[in-house]
A and B are shown apart, each in its own frame.
Chain A
Amino acid sequence: MIYLDSAATSLYKPPAVANAVLHAMRTMASPGRGAHRPAMAAAELCYRCRERAARLFGVSEPDRVVLTFNATHGLNIAIRSLVPPGGRVLVSGWEHNAVTRPLYALGAELRIVKTPLFDRTAFLREAARLIEGVDAVICTQVSNVFGFILPIEELAALCRAREVPLVIDASQGAGVLPLNFDRLGAAFAAMPGHKGLMGPQGTGLLLCQNDARPLLYGGSGSESRNPDMPSFLPDRLEAGTPNVCGIAGLYAALGWLLDKGTERVRAGEWRLLRTLADALAATGRLQLFDSGDPEAQTGVLSVIPKGMSCDALAEALGTQGVAVRSGLHCAPLAHETAGTLDTGTLRFSVSPFLSGAQTERAAAICEKILKSA
């Protein structure tokens, strides 16, 4: 199997991740539910996980690292905290349904920054034009469809200057791009554990600047006689039993990332992407959405085959052991902005556990399929 769908889920992870999951399953109970050893071991693990995440993402207090079940969970908390029903929100034209659907559910008025793919300057210019009077700005760090790196630092500066809260969807950037949350001054940043962070599915992080409104209500293991959720973080946002086994895996994965460094991960992924993109371009049978610029694109490459549908090519690749994803990738807005809504795209996404030889092999298989179509 040549796995080229890491933008959806990292399949190959550091070996310590699975070991940590198994260890937690065998030895840990749930944090805040008792003071016996298995419960306290789980509590210690959760705290260590918050500490590691705080170090990786520049959060000064681990209390402001909330353990969620995925990025969607965190984004829903952030959106419900900042956007009133019918509120005005500025979003990029590259957002995932994890952002747009909660906003539609609130009846929010969306101001969408629709500018050309990979054009960071045009994006900032248009964002500055549209920002006046909005309740919040919500922006993805990286497009999950095209790997386009949005200018988050500059956008954060704009938000600070206009005193508009910023929510960062770091789903595709976390683990690959630097993110210093406190320095950016964003209100929230949400991310899943199972993509670039290399952790298990069912884990996520929500970085919080200040207070937030609970999305779920229930037991927190604290202030039990209070009919409301506790007033303090992280308990305020963590109702119900957490995914301790998943958090154990995430903790191990964060350790791996801190040791390796996101810069090295990014550089390696870019080398793989170049190998893949150059080989695919050489077939002459694909339209590539390739910036050629490591400052504008991560290890994600969308293509549209000529004379064949994306779905048919993805299926053919799958039968020959190459895992890719076709369709809209849960981001119809991004396709609308790029003009690919009718066709969708076929997406290749690399990871640190892929080799250059594997990407070359995947491109060769792709060429063979396209020639015989």
Chain B
Amino acid sequence: MTAAQRAAAALGQGGVFASVTKAPQSTNPGGCTYAVKLGERKLQTALTILRGAGIPWERAYRVDARGTLREVGT
């Protein structure tokens, strides 16, 4: 969770609002984990900020209104 919080803090400093949220179980077979949630249009900006801050991420997903996940390329 601290890694997700660190990512959210870095994104906030870079002008991208992101909130920390519990990641759906299907995204992580290893068990509980946390993610940052942000507007899809901000994804590329967010990834640039995270790269610049040296904060790694694993995957990005698009979540539709019904909660269905689709992995998107980063």
Contacts and interface: CB of A to CB of B under 8 A. Distances in A.
Contacts of A43: 1, 5, 20
A232 B29 CA distance: 17
A221 B32 contact: yes
Max chain A Cβ within 10 angstroms of own Cβ: one of B2, B5, B20, B22: B2
Contacts of B21: 35
Given A35-B22, A43-B20, A62 B30 contact: no
B6 A62 contact: yes
Interface in B10-39: 20-22, 29-34
B9 interface: yes
Given A63-B6, A221-B32, 16 more contacts: A40-B20, A46-B2, A47-B2, A62-B5, A62-B6, A221-B1, A222-B33, A223-B30, A223-B31, A224-B30, A225-B30, A226-B30, A226-B31, A232-B3, A233-B2, A234-B2
A32 interface: yes
Contacts of A169: none
A144 to B, nearest CB: 31
Interface in A1-47: 31-32, 34-35, 40, 43-44, 46-47
A232 B32 CA distance: 14
A225 B29 CA distance: 8
Nearest to B22: A35
Give the most central of A40, A44, A233: most B CB within 10 Å: A40
Interface of B is mostly: mixed
A53 B40 CA distance: 33
A233 B6 CA distance: 12
Contacts of A233: 2
A234 to B, nearest CB: 6
Interface of A is mostly: loop
B53 to A, nearest CB: 10
Interface of B: 1-3, 5-6, 9, 20-22, 29-34
B1 A31 contact: yes
Contacts of A40: 20
Contacts, number: 52
A222 B32 contact: yes
Given A221-B1, A221-B32, A223-B32, A61 B6 contact: yes
A222 B6 contact: no
13 contacts: A32-B32, A35-B21, A40-B20, A43-B5, A47-B5, A51-B9, A63-B6, A222-B32, A223-B33, A224-B32, A225-B31, A226-B31, A235-B1
A47 B31 CA distance: 21
A50 interface: yes
A34 B32 CA distance: 9
Nearest to B8: A47
Nearest to B19: A40
Contacts of A225: 29-31
Interface in A63-84: 63
Contacts of A32: 1, 32, 34
A235 B33 CA distance: 11
B5 A44 contact: yes
